[in-house]
Structure 1
Amino acid sequence: MIPTIPQSATVRTLRLTYVATFFLFLFIPLIVVVAFAFNDAAYPMPPWHGFTLDWFFADGSQERTGVFFDQDIQTSLWYSFKVAVAVSSMSVLLGTCNAFLLERFQFRGQQVLSVMMLLPLVIPGVILGISILALMSHIAQFAEDVAGWELDFLRPGLVLVTIGQISYIASITTLTISARLKRFDVSLEEAALNLGATRWQIFYTILLPYLKPALVGAAMIAFLLSFENFNTTYMLAGSDAPLTVMIYGRMKDGATPVVNAISLLLMLLSAGVVLAMNLKKPKSNNP
C-alpha cells in the first residue's frame, strides 16, 4: 500500500483494528500472568482476592514462600545463569571462528558446510536433545566398558545441557557475526599490512572494534535463548534442574503464584537486556 495515496475511513479503521487485535493477542496473556503474581490467593487464577507481595517476599513463616526466599528457585536460577554464561561465551567464540571461516576462506565443500550449520535451527528441540543424549550416553558407556573411565559429565546434567544448547545457539551467533563481517571493507586490512601492522594488530585494533556491536548483540541473544530454553534442556537435565525445568515440574504438581512472580522477574530481565541492546547503538559501520 502506497503511503502517499489517501486512504478511506474504512481502510484506516480496519488497519487500527488489526493492530489493536494483534497487540491484545500478544500482551493479554502476559498481563494476566503479571496481575496474578500479586493475587492474595494460593492459586494463580481468578477470582481476585486482593493485592499482596507475599509471592515475592514471604519468608515461609505463614505457609507462603516468596521468590526471594525460595531456595529451590534460587538454586535453579543459579544453574540457569551458569549455563547461560557458558553457552553465550562459547557460542560467541565458535560463532566468530565460523564467521571468519565462511567469509574469509575459500575451500571445497564450503557451501555444504554453510547449509549444515543451519540444520540445528530447523530440528525440533526435543529431537535435538534426544539425539545428543543418546550419543553422549553411548560414548560414556563405551568409555566405561572399554577403558573403565567414568565420564559422568556426559551423563544428563548441566554440562550436557550446555553442550546441547551450544549445538544450535552457535549457529545463531555465527549468522549474526557473519552478517557484520560480510560488510567489512577488506581494503582497510590491506592498508594496515602495507603500513607494517601484524595480523594480530589488525585484528585487535581494526576488526575487533568493528565486530564489537555484533559480538555484544550475539552474546545477549545467546544468553536469553539459553536462559529461556526448555525443550532441549528438559531432555538433557539431570537432578540439577535449571529454572525452566523446575517451573515445569511445579506446574505439573499444582502451580502457585510464585510461578507468576518468577515469570514477571524474567520478563523484566528480558526487557532490560533488549532495552540495553537498543540503547547501545553502533556509532558507525566504518572503524
Structure 2
Amino acid sequence: MIASIPQSQAFRKTYAAYVSLFFIFLIAPLVVVAVFSFNDSLFPSLPWQGFTLDWFLSDGGGRTGLFHDDKLLGSIGISMVVAVFVALLSVLVALSNAFLFERNEFPGKQFLYTLMLIPLVIPGVILGISVLIFSSNIANGAEDLWGWDLNFLRPGLLLIVLGQFSFISTICTLIISARLRKFDQALEEAALNLGASRFDVLWTITLPWLRPALIGAAIVAFLMSFENFNTTLVLVGSDAPLTITMFDRMREGSTPVLNAVSLLLMVASGGLALLSVFVQRKESDG
C-alpha cells in the first residue's frame, strides 16, 4: 500500500486485517511449538498437562531432556561444525566473486554470472544427488584405476559442506556484491595516490566498508546451513546433523524434546538475526 495515495477507510481496515492474519499465520506455529516444549506430557499435543522443564533438564524417570540427550547434543555439535565451515568457505568465495563481477569486465562475464545463480533455482535434493554422483564417480574411478580408497568423497561431512556451499555461496555473493556496488572507488584511488599499497587499501578501506555485508552474509550462511535438510539428507553419512536426527526422531514418534530443540533454535536464530541488525545499524550510525 502506497501511503501517499488516498485510501478509503474500508480498504485500510482490510489491509490491516490482511497484514495481521499474515503475521499470525507465520508466528502461530512457532508459538505452539514453544508452548508445548513445556507441556508435562509424553506427547507434543493437547490436552495441556501442566508446566514442566523436564524436556530440557530431565535425566531419568522415563524422560530424557535436551541437555542430557547425548545424541541430540552431538547432532547439534555436528551441525555447528558444518555451518561454521560452510559460512567461512561461502564468505571467502563470495568476497572473491563480488570483486570479480563488480570490478572487472571480461568475455563471458554475464554467462558466468548466470551460471553462478543457477544453484538457487535447482531443488536441494537435485543438488545433493549431483554432488553425490560426481564425487562417487571420482572415488570409484580412483579405486578402479589406482586402488586408492578416497573415503572422504563418500557420503559424510565433507560432502555435506560442499553440497550446502554450492548454493549458499551464491546467496553470500549477492549480499556482498550489493554492498560493494555502493562503494566509492575514489577512496581507494586517493589512498593509492598517497602511497598506500593495494593490500593496505583493501585491509584499511574496502574491507571495513564491507564489514556489515560480510557479517550479514556469514550469519545467513550459518543459519541456512544449520537448518538445511534436503541437500543434507542425500549426502549424510554416519555423523548426522541436527535436521537429520530430528527427522529420524519424528519417524520413531515425536516427543516434546523436539519442541525443546526447536525453541532453542528459534532463540539462537533470533539472537543471530538481532546481532546482524545491530552490526549494520552500528556501521550506518558510525
Q: What TM-score, normalized by structure 1, do the two folds share?
A: 0.96
Partner residue in 2 for 1:3: 3
Q: Distance in 2 between matches of 1:178 and 1:43?
A: 47
Q: 1:264 to 1:67 in 2, by over 3 A?
A: same
In the alignment, residue 12 of structure 1 is paired with which amino acid? R
Secondary structure of the residue aligned to 1:48 is coil
Q: Distance in 2 between matches of 1:5 and 1:121?
A: 36
Partner residue in 2 for 1:26: 26
Deviation at 1:286, TM superposition (A): 11
Deviation at 1:7, TM superposition (A): 3.9
Kept after mapping to 2: 8 A contact 1:92/1:173? yes
Q: Distance in 2 between matches of 1:19 and 1:235?
A: 37
Unmatched runs of 5 consecutive residues or more in structure 1: none
Deviation at 1:16, TM superposition (A): 2.1
Deviation at 1:5, TM superposition (A): 5.3
Q: Which moved more, 1:142-151 or 1:228-237?
A: 142-151
Deviation at 1:32, TM superposition (A): 1.0
Q: 1:285 to 1:182 in 2, by over 3 A?
A: farther
Kept after mapping to 2: 8 A contact 1:76/1:241? yes
1:65-106 deviation digits (Å, cap 9, x = unpaired):
000000000110000000000000000000001111111121
Kept after mapping to 1: 8 A contact 2:139/2:150? yes
In the alignment, residue 265 of structure 1 is paired with which amino acid? L
Q: Distance in 2 between matches of 1:35 and 1:258?
A: 12
Kept after mapping to 2: 8 A contact 1:57/1:68? yes
Q: 1:41 to 1:204 in 2, by over 3 A?
A: same
Kept after mapping to 2: 8 A contact 1:99/1:181? yes
Q: Distance in 1 between matches of 2:231 and 2:127?
A: 7
Q: Distance in 1 between matches of 2:118 and 2:248?
A: 30
Q: Distance in 2 between matches of 1:278 and 1:105?
A: 31
Q: Distance in 2 between matches of 1:2 and 1:172?
A: 29
- Indicate yes or no: 2:198 matched with 1:231: no
In the alignment, residue 146 of structure 1 is paired with which amino acid? L
- Indicate yes or no: 2:111 matched with 1:112: yes
1:132-171 deviation digits (Å, cap 9, x = unpaired):
1111111111111111111111111111100100000010
The 5 A counterparts of 1:37-48 are: 37-48=37-48
Kept after mapping to 1: 8 A contact 2:212/2:283? no
Secondary structure of the residue aligned to 2:64 is coil
Q: 1:184 to 1:66 in 2, by over 3 A?
A: same
Kept after mapping to 2: 8 A contact 1:210/1:285? no
Partner residue in 2 for 1:13: 13
Q: 1:5 to 1:209 in 2, by over 3 A?
A: closer
The 5 A counterparts of 1:45-60 are: 45-59=45-59
Partner residue in 2 for 1:140: 139
Q: What TM-score, normalized by structure 2, do the two folds share?
A: 0.96
Kept after mapping to 2: 8 A contact 1:67/1:262? yes
In the alignment, residue 155 of structure 2 is paired with which amino acid? P
* % identical equivalent positions: 56
Q: 1:106 to 1:12 in 2, by over 3 A?
A: closer
Q: 1:127 to 1:207 in 2, by over 3 A?
A: same
Q: Which moved more, 1:45-54 or 1:117-126?
A: 45-54
